[in-house]
């Protein structure tokens, strides 16, 4: 077996998968010393609590094992109570109190919450939603970051903060704004946004004829004469279907515009702090109008927010209390892979208040999420929030301490436990230890594209198609095989991974197909799935055979595809195993030399081919043209690709992950039964036991 394993490893290096960028690398070493593993902290809003409680609260946070405190978010009205008059006394005092306790400070730019004097003086900065309603004071993130006037005010407050704290050694890092998305009401349709969209189009297309061509405006007489005639597409203003190419461009624009706003704030802060303090924002993780990759080069660490339990279903009967291992892990593997370092800026400490139903998490679930974050390489986890609020929009939201301000909640106790456990693990860890060979041999990447996903969602062709679920099926298949996974984008080098999966990669060009081909010829194992390569980057079909650019690569033609209306289900046979499907199935025609992996066992095309594989150069290409119910076919076929490549795989239940980090193995159990972790007899168990209960964790060292 050993020689097969070494052959499978081929030229793939065993060191860290995502290379650091130089400035980021230096600041990371200083801010996040590898020996610290993962640091834990909490959100605190001093402006909301009596000043005489500040010292007590800081001392109690420290006692609970917190290492940093997050402050100043949303505090613009306190930092600049009237235009141009700044008040930092309250923040200075809290930084001093934090430092006295040995707590590092994360500061925020308060820009999601403009003070009333600003919006009263400049109502033109207010955002306008899709229904044409101007948003008003009394909530948050109601201003347009495309407004030049708003940006002027933002620049002033960010400069003031940078000047005052940018060289302050007690300040560890910065979070910009808050979950930039207008909370699902994006994009903003204000005149400022419309103008910036038009300017972006002018820059992209140069002349209006090019835009008309690339949006297919010949259809339905949609031709424009000038860029200033174009508006952000708003389905609420259209009597019939929208133009998908225009929609795709507006999504690109909004993501770039938001990235530009974050860069605008980053550039200001950097003038003061350079890379001595880290800068990030707190991204929403599970896909939105904002693409975190676009600021990957700006931030020292990519951070995101995590709320696993808010009345959502998740997998299994306990999923609504445990959260989803697949969702958490996919997000972490994506955020970490953007620039090599990630942290969780918000993790719920217990019940939240904003779900339609807000259940209690399962006992131990908070610790489970913290340790799952640790296993995915997080540099820090911060909880939203330290104290339960007594008033305001987030009433009912749990904190580390309850409404009396001092008594730890159940979640608070779990944070304190993990803080102790991390201290214990720091003594046993081997920071930066290379991945063990058998584990490294399974290194895999999922190729992910926001643009492809927007385009799929703009025109699903079957309303039951779920792009996210499709991605998770492949990601889960890899985790079940025990693979370390990076979720990467096209800017990364594929050759670092023995296995690469591009699920439903709908938009592509010849350059990407050439890169895939040379990856495979060099020994890589590529898996492509249904809907890949059907369109060019504009979202046009090819004037050629269906998915023409990938046909040589996959060694098959795609005769047609089918989708089944509920409650119909089709079935697939793969090596004697039966799987159900309904959302999307392609019927393939293999070329000579291509091996059939799965066939349809019913419908009028029974016997038709659903999945194929073939050897190309030193590697293989596998094409899976169907989306199976529950991802069972994907799990089987992905596992087979690894096995055929001579790589030893695990067979873990979905929701039970085993990962390696800094010399430690970590198992986390999101399933609803006890699972035996694959702990070798010679290993030393540091936390938990071989049998890992529901919501349990085991950590061991070989």
| Residues near ligand GAL (CB under 6 A) | 178-179, 305, 307, 346, 352, 354, 384, 394, 397
**Which residue has the CB atom at the shortest distance from ligand GAL?**
179
Cβ count near 491 (within 10 Å): 9
39-43 vs 380-383, strand pairing mode = parallel
Q: Given the complex with ligand GAL, which of 285 and 443 has the nearer CB atom?
A: 285
Inter-residue contact 376 to 659 (CB < 8 Å): yes
Least distance to ligand GAL from the beta carbon of 345, Å? 8
619-624 vs 609-616, strand pairing mode = antiparallel
Kindly list the strands in the beta sheet with 684-687, ordered across the sheet, starting from the edge strand earlier in the chain.
Answer: 656-661, 664-669, 697-701, 684-687
Least distance to ligand GAL from the beta carbon of 193, Å? 22
Inter-residue contact 103 to 68 (CB < 8 Å): yes
DSSP state of 461: S
Least distance to ligand GAL from the beta carbon of 286, Å? 11
Give Cα 253 distance to the centre of its chain: 20
Inter-residue contact 520 to 616 (CB < 8 Å): yes
Least distance to ligand GAL from the beta carbon of 178, Å? 5
Alpha-helix residue ranges (DSSP H) falling in 43-83: 54-63, 76-79
Least distance to ligand GAL from the beta carbon of 354, Å? 6
Cβ count near 216 (within 10 Å): 16
Q: Given the complex with ligand GAL, which of 124 and 394 has the nearer CB atom?
A: 394
Cα(252)–Cα(450) distance, integer angstroms: 9
Quick one: residue 435, left, alpha or beta (phi over 0 = left, psi -120 to 50 = alpha)?
A: beta
Q: Given the complex with ligand GAL, which of 180 and 679 has the nearer CB atom?
A: 180
Q: Given the complex with ligand GAL, which of 179 and 257 has the nearer CB atom?
A: 179
Least distance to ligand GAL from the beta carbon of 138, Å? 15
Inter-residue contact 204 to 248 (CB < 8 Å): no
Tokens coding 345: 């800026």
Q: Given the complex with ligand GAL, which of 349 and 364 has the nearer CB atom?
A: 349
Q: Given the complex with ligand GAL, which of 220 and 354 has the nearer CB atom?
A: 354
Q: Given the complex with ligand GAL, which of 301 and 501 has the nearer CB atom?
A: 301
Cα(376)–Cα(332) distance, integer angstroms: 6
Least distance to ligand GAL from the beta carbon of 308, Å? 11
Least Cα distance to 425 among 690, 150, 698, 195 occurs for 698
Least distance to ligand GAL from the beta carbon of 384, Å? 5
Least Cα distance to 369 among 337, 428, 327 occurs for 327
DSSP state of 429: -
Angle subtended by helix axes 450-458 and 244-273, to nearest 10: 150
Q: Given the complex with ligand GAL, which of 146 and 305 has the nearer CB atom?
A: 305
Least distance to ligand GAL from the beta carbon of 361, Å? 13
Q: Given the complex with ligand GAL, which of 354 and 542 has the nearer CB atom?
A: 354
Alpha-carbon torsion (407, 409, 414, 418), positive or negative:
negative
Least distance to ligand GAL from the beta carbon of 184, Å? 11
Least distance to ligand GAL from the beta carbon of 434, Å? 36
Polymer length of the chain:
702
Q: Given the complex with ligand GAL, which of 178 and 599 has the nearer CB atom?
A: 178
- DSSP H or E stretch at residue 298: none
Q: Given the complex with ligand GAL, which of 282 and 620 has the nearer CB atom?
A: 282
Specify the residue for token string 């299994």.
316
């Amino acid at each position: 077996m050993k020689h097969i394993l070494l052959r499978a490893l081929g030229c793939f290096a065993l060191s860290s998968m995502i290379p650091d960028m130089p400035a980021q690398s230096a600041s990371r070493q200083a801010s996040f010393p590898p020996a610290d593993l993962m640091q834990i902290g909490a959100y605190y809003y001093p402006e909301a609590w009596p000043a005489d409680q500040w010292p007590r609260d800081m001392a109690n946070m420290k006692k609970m094992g917190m290492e940093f405190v997050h402050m100043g978010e949303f505090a613009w009205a306190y930092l600049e109570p009237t235009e141009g008059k700044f008040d930092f006394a309250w923040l200075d005092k809290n930084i001093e109190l934090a430092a006295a306790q040995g707590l590092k400070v994360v500061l925020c730019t308060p820009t999601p919450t403009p003070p009333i004097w600003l919006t009263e003086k400049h109502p033109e900065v207010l955002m306008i939603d899709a229904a044409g309603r101007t948003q008003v004071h009394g909530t948050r993130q109601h201003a347009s970051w495309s407004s030049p006037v708003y940006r002027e005010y933002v620049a002033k407050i960010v400069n003031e903060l940078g000047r005052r704290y940018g060289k302050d050694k007690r300040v560890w890092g910065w979070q910009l704004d808050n979950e930039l998305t207008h909370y699902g009401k994006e994009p903003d349709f204000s005149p400022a946004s419309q103008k910036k969209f038009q300017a972006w189009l002018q820059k992209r297309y140069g002349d209006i004829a090019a835009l008309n061509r690339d949006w297919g405006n010949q259809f339905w007489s949609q031709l424009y004469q000038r860029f200033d005639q174009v508006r952000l597409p708003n389905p609420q203003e259209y009597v019939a279907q929208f133009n998908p190419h225009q929609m795709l461009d507006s999504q690109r624009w909004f993501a770039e515009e938001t990235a530009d706003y974050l860069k605008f704030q980053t550039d200001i802060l950097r003038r003061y702090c350079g890379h001595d303090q880290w800068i990030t924002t707190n991204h929403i993780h599970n896909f939105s109008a904002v693409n975190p990759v676009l600021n990957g080069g700006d931030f020292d660490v990519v951070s995101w927010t995590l709320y696993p339990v808010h009345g959502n279903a998740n997998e299994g009967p306990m999923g609504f209390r445990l959260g989803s291992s697949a969702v958490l892990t996919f997000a972490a593997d994506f955020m970490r892979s953007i620039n090599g370092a990630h942290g969780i800026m918000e993790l719920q400490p217990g019940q939240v208040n904003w779900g339609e139903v807000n259940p209690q998490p399962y006992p131990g679930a908070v610790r489970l999420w913290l340790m799952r974050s640790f296993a995915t390489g997080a540099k820090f986890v911060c909880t939203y929030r330290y104290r339960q609020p007594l008033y305001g929009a987030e009433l009912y939201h749990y904190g580390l301490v309850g409404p009396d301000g001092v008594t730890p909640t159940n979640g608070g106790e779990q944070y304190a436990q993990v803080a102790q456990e991390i201290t214990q693990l720091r003594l046993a860890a081997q920071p930066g230890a290379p991945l063990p060979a058998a584990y490294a041999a399974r290194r895999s990447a999922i190729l992910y594209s926001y643009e492809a996903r927007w385009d799929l969602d703009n025109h699903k062709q079957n309303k039951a198609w779920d792009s996210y679920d499709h991605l998770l099926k492949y990601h889960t298949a890899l985790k079940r095989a025990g693979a370390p996974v990076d979720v990467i984008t096209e800017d990364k080098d594929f050759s670092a991974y023995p296995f690469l999966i591009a699920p439903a990669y709908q938009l592509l060009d010849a350059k990407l197909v050439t890169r895939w081909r040379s990856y495979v010829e060099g020994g890589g194992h590529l898996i492509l799935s249904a809907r890949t390569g059907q369109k060019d980057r504009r979202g046009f079909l090819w004037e050629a055979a269906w998915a023409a650019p990938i046909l040589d690569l996959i060694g098959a033609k795609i005769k047609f595809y089918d989708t089944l209306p509920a409650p119909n289900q089709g079935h697939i046979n793969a090596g004697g195993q039966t799987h159900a499907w309904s959302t999307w199935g392609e019927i393939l025609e293999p070329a000579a030399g291509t091996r059939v992996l799965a066939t349809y066992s019913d419908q009028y095309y029974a016997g038709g081919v659903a999945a194929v594989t073939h050897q190309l150069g030193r590697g293989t290409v596998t094409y899976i043209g169907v989306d199976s119910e529950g991802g069972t076919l994907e799990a089987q076929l992905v596992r087979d690709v690894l096995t055929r490549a001579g790589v030893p795989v695990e067979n873990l239940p979905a929701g039970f992950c085993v990962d390696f980090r800094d010399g430690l193995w970590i198992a986390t159990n999101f399933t609803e039964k006890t699972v035996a972790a694959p702990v070798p007899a010679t290993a030393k168990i540091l936390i938990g036991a071989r049998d890992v209960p529901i919501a349990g964790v085991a950590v061991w060292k070989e």
